[in-house]
Every structure is written in structure tokens, then in C-alpha cells.
Amino acid sequence: MKTKTSIRVSVDLVPDFHAEVKARAQASAKTLKTYVKDVLAERIHKDREEEEDRYWGERAKEAREEGFVSVEESEAYLKHLLDA
């Protein structure tokens, strides 16, 4: 099995921002390196979820424009027909 190797990334921060990131890392009981990696991973995860929500929202809009209805609307209509 092939192992993944890490790639070093260098980022220039202004001193005030560096101090804030470092303080947040310490408050989280993490090293600066671990804190930055965790924050980046969380942001990437959030961005992916937002992209997926946007994608499915667009598909739902297209479906409504084509005359399709939501699952809830379909279930309500079927219940209405069964109750009639």
C-alpha cells in the first residue's frame, strides 16, 4: 500500500494575525501546525457541503420548472387521494 506524503506549505502572515492564530491554537490546546491544518480541513469540508447544497438546490429548481414536485408534495397528494 502506498503511503501519502505531506507537502510543506509556507504562508506569510502579518504579525498581528499570526499572534491571533497562535493564541487560538494555544486556546485549543493544539500546536500552531495542527490548528492550521484542522481549520483548513474544516473550511474545505464546509465549502464542499455548500457546493453540494447549491448543486442540489439548482437541480431541485430545474425539476420544479419542469413540473416535478417535491417528495413531500407527492406524499401529501397521495394521502389526499387515499383519504378522498
Q: DSSP assignment of 44-81, as one string? A: HHHHHHHHHHHHHHHHHHHHHHTT---HHHHHHHHHHH
The pLDDT assigned to 66 comes to 83
Residue 50 exposed, middle or buried by CB count within 10 Å (0-12, 13-18, 19+) = exposed
pLDDT in tens, 4-34: 888 999 999 999 999 999 999 999 999 999 9
pTM of the complete model: 0.67
